[in-house]
Amino acid sequence: MSSRSSARLGRSVALHLVLTPLALIWLFPLWMMVVFSTMPDNGIFSPGIELLPHGNFMDNFNNLQRDTDFVGAIGISVSVAVTYTFLSVLLTSMAGWALARYRFFGKGVVVAIILGTITLPYAVVLIPQFIMVARDFKLANTWVALIVPPLFNSLGVLFMRQSFSMMPDDLFDAARVEGVKEWRIFLFIALPLARPMLAALAIILFLASWNNYLWPLLINSQPGSMTAPVALGTLIGLTKVSWGGIMAGAVMLTVPMLIVFVLLQRHFIAGIAAGAIK
């Protein structure tokens, strides 16, 4: 074995020795969440430390389903997250395409405003947005109120603007010379080239919608139309907290997302890397 190969092997071993304990530390709270989901409420706060699962998961889930109709809430969350992700990816891509490929008056001001919105804390716009949607538009307790207000994503627009800016101008100019319409250039040339970035953006937006708690809590108060995170929050009462049900629901919300991320991490990393290099 050459000295260069030995050095590379040594660096790889050292890197794994450092990262493996860090990965275990990161995974430990997730594992304890799984363990707590299989324990009764009185066992979660027992003096001893339990590291192995018990057999009460189905009891906790049945209590959760009885109190919140959690399966229905998951269905609502999936529908909202999928619809939101599709529409938001489409709108942010269109905005990014316009900012990257077209010249128009005030373009710099528009980019500056979008950058400025990133610096605003969400709490600043939350109450005005709620008043406008619930009182002025009277859209409270509707799917439109859950999906439409968060659609505009400043980071998504800037991310897609950067992605489209990286593409060669000659490719689109050649298509225009051939008489291809602008909307066909966008749909059939630009978007396929930006597929890794679109996949990364879709994963980020889906997770943001899936984990969103505050806005659905404010705008949707109907028990039968709550998203899954809001339904879990209803288990925290003034005199009783169903910790076993909360942990079972948290496992059902977390584990599928981890599986999806592991399966799609190649596309996610490729999209982030492609959008960061110019």
Predicted confidence (pLDDT) at residue 173 exceeds the cutoff of 60: yes
- Which pTM value belongs to this model? 0.85
pLDDT, residue 238, reads 61
Rounded Cα distance between 255 and 30, Å, is: 9
Q: Taken in order 177, 178, 183, 184, is the CA torsion positive or negative?
A: negative
pLDDT, residue 251, reads 92
Structure tokens at 51: 């590291």
Contact at 8 Å (CB) between 195 and 89? no
Rounded Cα distance between 276 and 141, Å, is: 39
Q: Which residue in the block uniquely carries the two structure tokens 């879709």?
A: 202
Contact at 8 Å (CB) between 249 and 238? no
Contact at 8 Å (CB) between 230 and 172? no
- What are the φ and ψ backbone dihedral angles of 53, each rounded to 5 degrees? -65, 155
Rounded Cα distance between 160 and 166, Å, is: 10
For residue 9, what are the contacts with CB-CB under 8 A and spacing of at least 6? 1
Closest CA to 223 of 234, 213, 212, 214: 234
pLDDT, residue 1, reads 53
Structure tokens at 2: 């050459």
Predicted confidence (pLDDT) at residue 46 exceeds the cutoff of 80: no
Provide, rounded to the nearest whole percent, the portion of the chain with pLDDT above 90.
28
pLDDT, residue 229, reads 92
